[in-house]
Structure 1
């Protein structure tokens, strides 16, 4: 297996996911390990809420193992879970997740920042590699998954909506001059998804050039981490 295949395909990625959506249970397990309100715990909470809402469409009851959108959604979630499990075991997670993981409770970083930093890592890195994983599993090209990519994008949009609805302070507490207002409005999920789709197609085209593909993957990871770190700029 080439270097890029090793980095882009997690264990068991060649096999269809089992029936149901076991990643939900894994997210629930992580919820019980963290105290609420800090770092990855915030992202995990809003991600779990969003996934549970769409589980029937992305791997809930009656899940078809060959259903591409469900497979893509599972692969994407597995990337996130692999990152936190690697970090918990003392390993080195992808660079995009490293800014968020140490921020268990930073007094100057507010909950929406934790969630958006996690979302940035998930879209800018995990989703990119999940598209490649899914193409390998199904034997297709990225354009064949464009519709499925949009369906997973709907889940991510729901996640972003939960961030704004549940975590952002109310208008009485958050003035237009508040740095958090500027920081949150400077990040766009739509732009992040567009960049992820472009990166996935590029990485797929580089699959026959493993050294270039690995270099591109690393730069994608680092770029996602840079944006994620900026989103964690203290606002107090």
Structure 2
């Protein structure tokens, strides 16, 4: 059986490779420690929202994303209470691993990935609509963090490989983000129409292929880290484009 070598960014508590996002001003006040279950994720996001709004205001770029992410996570918790949902152990662990990557990236405990640095660098700009900040956060989290979170979850639970059951849970997370994004854009009106013209978020098939590629590379840390780094660069480019459009509209 192949064993995943735990090195950044694949390790359970590791951040991204060094050199990313240096000099980014991170918010402070996130409780120490990372959540171990979905209730813990909800609690951490609730606390983070309080801190962000208290220290930076409700229009803060990261607060705009965190607010939406909290709604998504509450929906995932509701799914876990649904008796018709199968594979709850995987979905619950995926929710935790997914959130841990976000909390490490934005909570000041590790180097900041480029994709998140894009949002953190411009989070206070008044000319950018809050909806666009939320979309950039979704782009960073789903495009950069979801695939390695699936790989990590398979590793933690001892799965032989990501298969149909794992893909169904991955889609549940993806679809929940998509539903909330559609609602958000519907409420925003024409001011954020340009968001829908950019092929950014929730590219389901592309991201699943990324899962399978990372799974094959999981025991080869150099290749794994190189692939994550390339993914980070691509996602950051998309985020910068979205925020540039936001500043112009």
Which residue, 203, 210, 216 being the options, matches 2:221? 210
1:19/1:106 CA distance change after superposition, 3 Å: closer
CA distance in 2, matches of 1:5, 1:184: 36
Matches within 5 A, 1:4-83: 5-11=7-13, 18=36, 20-34=38-52, 35-58=57-80, 67-83=89-105
1:156 and 1:58, CA in 2 relative to 1: closer, same or farther beyond 3 A? Answer: farther
With the length of structure 2 as denominator, give the TM-score of the two structures: 0.77
The alpha-carbon deviation at position 59 of structure 1 amounts to 7.6
Question: What is the aligned partner in structure 1 of residue 18 from structure 2?
Answer: none
Shift of 1:111: 1.3
- Cα distance between partner residues in 2 of 1:20 and 1:198: 26
Which residue in 2 is equivalent to 1:111?
Answer: 130
Q: Which residue of 2 aligns with 1:142?
A: 162
Q: Which runs of 5+ in 1 are unaligned?
A: none
Query: What per-residue deviation string (whole Å, max 9, x for no partner) do you get for residues 9-37 of structure 1?
Result: 3339xxxx745521111111111112101
Q: Is the Cα–Cα contact under 8 Å of residues 139 and 200 in structure 2 kept in the other structure?
A: no
Q: 1:194 and 2:205 equivalent?
A: yes
C-alpha spacing 1:59/1:93, structure 2 compared with 1 (3 Å): farther
In 1, Cα distance between equivalents of 2:68 and 2:239: 17
- After superposition, where does 1:92-103 map in structure 2 within 5 Å? 92-103=111-122
Aligned-pair Cα RMSD in Å: 2.8
TM-score (structure 1 length as normaliser): 0.81
Unaligned stretches of 5+ in structure 2? 15-34
For the 8 Å contact 1:19–1:59, the answer to whether it is kept is no
Q: Helix, strand or coil: the match of 1:208?
A: coil
Say if 1:97 and 1:121, in contact at 8 Å, map to a contact too: yes
The reply to whether residue 182 of structure 1 matches residue 182 of structure 2 is no
For the residues of structure 1 that align with 2:69 and 2:183, how far apart are their CA atoms? 9
In 2, the alpha carbon distance for the partners of 1:18 and 1:77 equals 10
1:185 deviates by 2.7
SS in 1 for 2:119: coil
Report the CA distance between 1:188 and its aligned residue.
Answer: 4.8
Alpha-carbon distance in structure 2 between the residues aligned to 1:66 and 1:153: 16
Structure 1 Cα separation of the partners of residues 183 and 224 of structure 2: 34
